[in-house]
Amino acid sequence: MVSNSMNLESCRGSLKLAEEHGGLVFAALGIHPWNVNDFGPAELEQTVDFILEKGADRKRVVAIGEVGLDPQYAKRKQQRELQVKVFREMLRLAEKLALPIIVHSRWSAQKIIDALPSYRLNGVLWHWFSSPADVLPRIVDRGDYVSEGPPAVFSPRIQDVVKLLPLQNLLTETDGPVRFYGPFKDRFTTPAFIPEVVRAIAEIKNVSEGDVADQVMSNYSRLFGIKF
């Protein structure tokens, strides 16, 4: 599993999980666009320094994430500019450390995919991609990956994304601690949901659960450089 981070505090937490569960949990370090507005004056610099210091630890750190853009949390021009500044800094870190990135792209996928060619990135994972569908061919052509989680069980929009994506570009996730609807309503989100996600993908793709699981593990190994 890969534990995403959202700010300096959760970067430390993800590293701690990776240390406590070596070989099972790995860390992605980064600043989520939701957290940008809550920055203290020096937090960006402190977080960048922390990631530079810890990012070379390939036994624990496998990606920069979760990073990206989200206009819902950037209503004012100053907030949008800060989000872009932080995202560019995260992209530069991924380039410098030769790590893949895990991208949050809600309502910003077009802007992000236009920006990616400016950086030499060691892989891109589009977290919980939902729209627009016309970006998906570009994602596949780039060799990027998309992760889908519990909504694949009950959301027609996410099921449509799964239909359009080749299995070779697909990963699974939970996005915990976010909680979901459908059969997951009122249930605390845990990695134990993953078999249900795999089962849903297998039904959508009309293949066996074993084939989905094997391909997801192969994709995971290839993207994050983790050998089994």
d(CA 53, CA 15): 12
Q: How confident is the model at residue 228 (pLDDT cuts 50, 70, 90)?
A: confident
pTM recorded for the entire structure: 0.96
Q: Is the pLDDT of residue 41 over 80?
A: no
- Whether 68 and 111 have beta carbons less than 8 Å apart is answered as no
How much is the average pLDDT of 93-112?
Answer: 97
Sequence-separated (6 or more) residues with CB below 8 Å from residue 189:
150, 174, 175, 176, 177, 178, 179, 180
Average pLDDT score over residue span 120-138? 95
C-alpha gyration radius of the chain? 17
pLDDT at 218 over 80: yes
Residue 198: give the domain boundaries. 2-224
Q: What is the enclosing helix (H) or strand (E) of 213?
A: helix 209-224
211: Cα separation from own chain's centroid: 23
| pLDDT score at 136 | 96
Taking 90 as the threshold, does the pLDDT of residue 48 lie above it?
yes
First to last CA, the chain: 13
Helix (H/G/I), strand (E/B), else coil: 118: helix
CA distance 89 to 98: 14
More confident: 39 or 93: 93
Q: Is the pLDDT of residue 190 over 90?
A: yes
Looking at residue 131, which CATH number applies to its domain? 3.20.20.140
The pLDDT, as a whole number, for residue 93 is 97
Average pLDDT, rounded, for the chain? 95
Which has the minimum average pLDDT: 11-25, 72-86, 162-176, 204-218? 72-86
Section 79-100 average pLDDT: 96
* Number of domains the chain is built from: 1
Which pLDDT score, from 0 to 100, does residue 37 have?
84
Give the lowest-confidence range in 36-40, 92-96, 196-200, 208-212: 36-40
Q: Token pair for residue 31?
A: 């600043």
Question: At a CB cut-off of 8 Å and minimum separation 6, what does 25 contact?
Answer: 1, 2, 3, 17, 18
Where do the H-state alpha helices sit in 174-208?
A: 194-205
How far is CA 212 from each of CA 14, 159, 168, 216, rounded to the nearest angstrom?
A: 27, 15, 10, 6
3-state secondary structure at position 55? coil
